[in-house]
């Protein structure tokens, strides 16, 4: 690849960046509409989330912990003692922006402001990454639309009447890492991590692609201590934002660099050149992420809670055929795009090739976070698919006028078809969220009386005390009050399966008082929540117990303080 071509692929004009900003703002507004509709509803309190409500409540709880001065993550969804770990740092820092006394509504608003900022950064990162591979501005813009708004063919399964195919719903509707829209709609830390990952990979690609151009003396070499410090800081930030994303990025870089090194042993292949700048870029990326990786390895090794949480945090990949449905739309075009990219820009093409080869091994590697390792794969496949169209554009200019016009018309039809086929799942998600926003029901909304009970408890309780409640109540309560629950979040609640029957037994009238009180003591329970969700478990009446003191009474909701001395 020549130096002049390299410049075209690495730079974007001011006009392009203005277009990206406008697109990003429109995307933010589009995704904000369902949330604004939900927030305008009367008669209940909006949690702030339309999908993934359980996880959403946990993010607000982490922000609330930040308002209380916490720097380390300690889950509020277990009574197990924890040493704390440097995880979920973005949410802890967001909480610190508000400080003590921050109310739930302010936390939710700040969460969505963070989401909006992350979406804007992601749009610029995607466009920068696209520009490294694709020269045509129209294709870059199409690529940005496909990556942020596109999905797979999961909608076909829905219309075919098989929504639970091979034991799973389509990836379009539950996997934020497989595509782009779900993360943009609900998970700002993943969006920010994705943006940083693309910029991190881009720094490595720029160091790699400038090798040949730099040797010819036609391109200003990147490098220098300040630039490498920037690379290290970038990868440190990726690791602090989302650790698994940093690990994935380093694996992709290591895989490609290893491929470049061994390529010289391929029969009949000219050896690839490796420069000092390329090696230093890799080294500084590893150095930047290493402190967080090593720290977390040490913390997980010595913290029994984190070990249990890691085992319970199962994010497994579905049947491989689901990924064929997810990515099948782009795969035929990606094949031709990869061939042409390898022929014209070998370093760029080989990087995407290595990523594509690694993908199935990552998705089914022996770890509990398999599905997370699809992060960024949609970006890679969209780029490969669009590279096929870019080559057609160039060839059409060399032909006669009639062939050029015919080629452009055919090309336009295919681009439009590609975009529209990727859009229905996103449309279904948006329409579904609008419908959910108008249905004032749990778990998206919480009863006003329940929230008032939460707020009154916050005025009485001390941070970190343990509350007994049902799983449903336990998931929501830490988003309003900085207290701990025995159960409320699948991965974060220790021994959840064995705990749930015991919690239910406490609320059953036939349970002996000494057994009930022993359970409360063993888990250090300071407060007992009694509302409609808890009343479904049995006929127990906590008001008649001499070891419980009523401290909150709001409609159907009562909260009791456990008096340890009274039972003795």
Supply the DSSP string of 483-515, one letter for each residue: -EESSS-TTTSTTHHHHHHHHHHHTSTTS-HHH
What pLDDT score was predicted for residue 97?
95
Contact 208, 278 (CB under 8 A): yes
Question: Helix, strand, coil shares of the chain as percentages rounded to 5?
Answer: 65, 5, 25
Q: From the DSSP assignment, how many helices (H) and strands (E) are in the chain?
A: 25, 7
Contact 195, 125 (CB under 8 A): yes
Contact 525, 517 (CB under 8 A): no
What pLDDT score was predicted for residue 72?
94
CA-angle at 351, arms to 278 and 127, nearest 5°: 95
Distance, CA of 542 to CA of 546 (rounded, Å): 9
Q: Which residues pair with 468 in a beta bridge?
A: 528
Q: Which two tokens stand for residue 136?
A: 């045509």
In a 3-state reduction of DSSP, which class is residue 560? strand
pTM flag (> 0.75): yes
Residue spans per domain, the chain = 3-46+103-434, 447-567
Q: Residue 389: exposed, middle, or buried by beta-carbon count in 10 A (0-12, 13-18, 19+)? A: buried
What pLDDT score was predicted for residue 393?
45
CA-angle at 381, arms to 25 and 262, nearest 5°: 130
Q: Mind listing the pLDDT tens digit of every residue in the chain (568 residues)?
A: 343 344 434 456 778 999 999 999 999 999 999 999 999 999 999 999 999 999 999 999 999 999 999 999 999 999 998 989 999 999 999 999 998 889 999 999 999 999 999 999 999 999 999 999 999 898 999 999 999 999 999 999 999 999 999 999 999 999 999 999 999 999 999 999 999 999 999 999 998 876 544 444 444 455 577 888 999 999 999 999 999 999 999 999 999 999 988 877 666 555 566 778 888 889 999 999 999 999 999 999 989 999 999 999 999 999 999 999 999 999 999 999 999 999 888 889 999 999 999 999 999 999 999 999 999 999 999 999 999 888 554 444 444 444 444 444 444 445 556 678 899 999 999 999 999 999 999 999 999 999 999 999 999 999 999 999 999 999 999 999 999 999 999 999 999 999 999 999 999 989 998 899 999 999 999 999 999 999 999 989 999 888 999 999 999 999 999 997 655 5
Distance, CA of 132 to CA of 124 (rounded, Å): 13
What pLDDT score was predicted for residue 278?
84
């Amino acid at each position: 690849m020549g130096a002049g071509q390299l410049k075209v692929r690495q730079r974007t004009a001011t006009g392009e960046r203005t277009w990206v900003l406008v697109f990003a703002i429109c995307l933010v507004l589009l995704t904000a509409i369902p949330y604004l509709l939900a927030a305008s509803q009367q008669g209940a309190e909006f949690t702030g989330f339309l999908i993934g409500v359980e996880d959403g409540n946990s993010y607000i709880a982490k922000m609330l912990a930040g308002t209380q001065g916490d720097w380390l993550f300690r889950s509020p969804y277990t009574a197990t003692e924890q040493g704390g770990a440097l995880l979920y740092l973005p949410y802890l820092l967001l909480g610190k922006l508000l400080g003590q006394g921050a109310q739930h509504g302010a936390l939710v608003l700040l969460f969505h402001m963070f989401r909006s900022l992350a979406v804007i950064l992601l749009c610029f990162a995607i466009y920068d990454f696209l520009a490294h591979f694709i020269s045509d501005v129209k294709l870059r813009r199409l690529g940005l639309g496909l990556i942020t708004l596109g999905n797979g063919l999961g909608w076909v399964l829905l219309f075919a009447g098989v929504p639970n195919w091979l034991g799973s719903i389509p990836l379009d509707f539950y996997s934020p890492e497989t595509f782009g829209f779900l993360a943009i709609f609900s998970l700002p830390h993943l969006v920010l991590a994705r943006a940083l990952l693309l910029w991190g990979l881009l720094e490595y690609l720029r160091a790699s692609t400038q090798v040949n151009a730099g040797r010819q003396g036609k391109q200003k070499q990147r490098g220098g201590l300040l630039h490498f410090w920037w690379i290290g800081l970038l990868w440190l930030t990726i690791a602090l934002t989302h650790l698994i994303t940093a690990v994935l990025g380093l694996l992709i870089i290591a895989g490609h660099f290893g491929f470049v090194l061994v390529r010289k042993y391929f029969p009949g292949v000219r050896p690839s050149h490796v420069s000092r700048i390329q090696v230093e870029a890799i080294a500084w990326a590893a150095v930047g992420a290493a402190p967080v990786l090593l720290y977390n390895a040490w913390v997980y090794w010595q913290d029994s809670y984190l070990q249990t949480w890691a085992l319970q945090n199962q994010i497994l990949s579905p049947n491989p055929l689901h990924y064929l449905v997810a990515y099948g739309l782009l795969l035929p075009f990606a094949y031709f795009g990869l061939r042409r990219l390898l022929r014209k820009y070998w370093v760029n093409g080989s990087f995407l090739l290595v990523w594509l080869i690694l993908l199935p091994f990552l998705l089914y590697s022996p770890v509990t976070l398999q599905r997370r390792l699809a992060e960024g794969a949609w970006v890679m496949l969209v780029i490969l698919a669009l590279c096929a169209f870019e080559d057609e554009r160039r060839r059409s200019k060399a032909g006669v006028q009639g062939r050029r016009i015919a080629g452009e018309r055919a090309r336009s039809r295919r681009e439009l078809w590609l975009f529209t086929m990727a859009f229905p799942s996103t449309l279904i998600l948006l329409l579904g969220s609008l419908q959910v926003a108008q249905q004032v029901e749990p778990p998206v909304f919480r009863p006003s009386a329940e929230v008032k009970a939460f707020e009154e408890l916050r005025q009485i309780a001390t941070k970190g005390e343990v509350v007994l409640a049902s799983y449903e109540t336990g998931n929501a309560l830490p988003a309003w009050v900085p207290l701990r629950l025995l159960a409320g979040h699948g991965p974060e609640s220790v021994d959840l399966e064995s705990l749930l029957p015991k919690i239910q037994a406490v609320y059953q009238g036939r349970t002996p008082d000494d057994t009930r009180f022993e359970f409360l003591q063993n888990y250090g329970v300071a407060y007992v929540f009694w509302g409609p969700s808890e009343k479904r478990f049995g006929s127990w009446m906590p008001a008649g117990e001499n070891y419980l003191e009523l401290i909150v009474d709001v409609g159907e909701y009562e909260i009791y303080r456990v008096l340890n001395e009274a039972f003795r």
